[in-house]
């Protein structure tokens, strides 16, 4: 690990100032991405900005037809939140399935969404539910936020503050985990919201994406059978020692069927 300066601001404004003043500074929330990178000397920040002391990044609340989750909300808090369980049970279930108990007690939704790991769970929920990402500067629609592997619309001096999830009519999530790492090999989050049906696929490709053919099929007939014969093209999907692109393409259909069944 390289030497770096350490800062622990108490407000979003102060954190943004620190990041804006130093292009090599890096924010840290739960630390599940940055700390391993530092340990293996894969990242060399001049300073680390710890977000854990910022109260305005925490909390979970319902505002009308939306659930607002602060960026520093931990997976365990989301899984156990009465507001989330009542309004979006699929999101609470997803949060409770992430990693292990140690990960769920430290990891945060903001860190996961901002990092945009292809195998992360939350990006699928954000995209399928048509959520809005609230930052220190602006509001970003889910369809505009995710831009590819480990890439988002966030600017270097911009912090993710909260995520606003519309309360869906129905929603479900299913995933196939890598048996060794427990990361998602292919997952599907399906949701029926006021604007229609949305299906987001994670794990299978280099980034989360919508499956438009499944969306159209479920709009006409909300049932597992509606997506059973829809084949996900293997072109562009991930392929490694754990599973070929063709295998992951098959998993997309299987997970979509399970997600619809989970949604009821």
Q: Supply the CATH number for residue 11's domain.
A: 3.30.43.10
In a domain, 70, yes or no: no
Q: How far apart are CA 231 and CA 183, in angstroms?
A: 23
In a domain, 231, yes or no: yes
Q: How far apart are CA 131 and CA 52, in angstroms?
A: 23
In a domain, 222, yes or no: yes
Asked whether residue 146 carries a pLDDT value surpassing 90, the answer given is yes
In a domain, 230, yes or no: yes
Mark which of 54, 76, 96 sits at the end of a domain.
54
Q: What is the mean pLDDT of residues 213-232?
A: 98
The structural domain count of the chain equals 2
Q: How far apart are CA 171 and CA 241, in angstroms?
A: 32
Q: How far apart are CA 156 and CA 76, in angstroms?
A: 28
Q: What is the mean pLDDT of residues 181-193?
A: 94
Share of the chain above pLDDT 70, in %: 100
What is the pLDDT of the chain when averaged over all its residues? 95
In a domain, 164, yes or no: no
Asked whether residue 94 carries a pLDDT value surpassing 90, the answer given is yes
- Which residue bears the tokens 């831009």? 147
Instruction: Give me the sign of the Cα torsion angle 152, 85, 90, 79.
Output: positive
Per-residue confidence band for 156, with pLDDT thresholds at 50, 70 and 90: confident
Mark which of 54, 69, 92 sits at the end of a domain.
54
In a domain, 189, yes or no: yes
Q: Residues 153, 132: contact at Cβ < 8 Å?
A: no
Q: What is the mean pLDDT of residues 32-54?
A: 88
In a domain, 200, yes or no: yes
Mark which of 54, 69, 85 sits at the end of a domain.
54
Q: What is the mean pLDDT of residues 203-232?
A: 98
What one-character DSSP code corresponds to residue 206? S
Q: For position 215, which CATH number holds? A: 3.30.390.50
Per-residue confidence band for 32, with pLDDT thresholds at 50, 70 and 90: confident
Q: Residues 43, 26: contact at Cβ < 8 Å?
A: yes
Whole-model pTM over 0.75: yes
Q: How far apart are CA 117 and CA 30, in angstroms?
A: 14
Which of these, 48, 56, 55, 17, lies nearest to 31 by C-alpha position? 48
Q: What is the mean pLDDT of residues 129-157?
A: 96
Q: What is the mean pLDDT of residues 174-178?
A: 96
Q: What is the helix, strand, coil percentage profile of the chain, to 5? A: 35, 25, 35
Q: How far apart are CA 25 and CA 21, in angstroms?
A: 8
Asked whether residue 1 carries a pLDDT value surpassing 80, the answer given is no
In a domain, 104, yes or no: no
Q: What H or E segment, with its residue span, contains residue 141?
A: strand 139-141
Q: Domain residues for 249? A: 170-263
């Amino acid at each position: 690990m390289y030497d770096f300066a350490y800062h622990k601001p108490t407000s979003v404004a102060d954190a943004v100032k620190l990041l804006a003043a130093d292009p090599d500074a890096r924010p840290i929330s739960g630390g599940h991405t940055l700390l391993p990178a530092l340990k293996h000397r894969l990242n060399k920040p001049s300073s680390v900005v710890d977000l854990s002391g910022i109260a305005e990044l925490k909390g979970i609340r319902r505002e009308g037809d939306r659930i607002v989750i602060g960026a520093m909300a931990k997976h365990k808090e989301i899984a156990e939140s009465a507001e989330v369980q009542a309004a979006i049970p699929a999101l609470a279930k997803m949060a409770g399935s992430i990693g292990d108990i140690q990960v769920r007690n430290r990891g945060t939704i903001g860190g996961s969404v901002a990092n945009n790991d292809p195998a992360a769970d939350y990006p699928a929920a954000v995209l399928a539910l048509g959520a809005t990402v609230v930052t220190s500067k602006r509001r970003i629609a889910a369809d505009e936020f995710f831009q590819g592997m480990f890439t988002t619309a966030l600017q270097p001096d911009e912090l993710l503050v909260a995520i606003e999830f519309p309360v869906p009519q129905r929603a479900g999530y299913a995933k196939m985990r890598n048996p060794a790492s427990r990361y998602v090999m292919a997952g599907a989050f399906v949701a029926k919201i006021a604007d229609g049906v949305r299906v987001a696929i994670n794990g299978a490709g280099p980034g989360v994406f919508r499956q438009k053919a499944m969306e159209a099929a479920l709009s006409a007939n909300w049932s597992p059978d509606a997506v059973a014969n829809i084949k996900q093209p293997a072109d562009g999907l991930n392929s490694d020692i754990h599973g070929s692109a063709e295998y992951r393409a098959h998993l997309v259909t299987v997970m979509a069927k399970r997600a619809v069944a989970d949604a009821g």
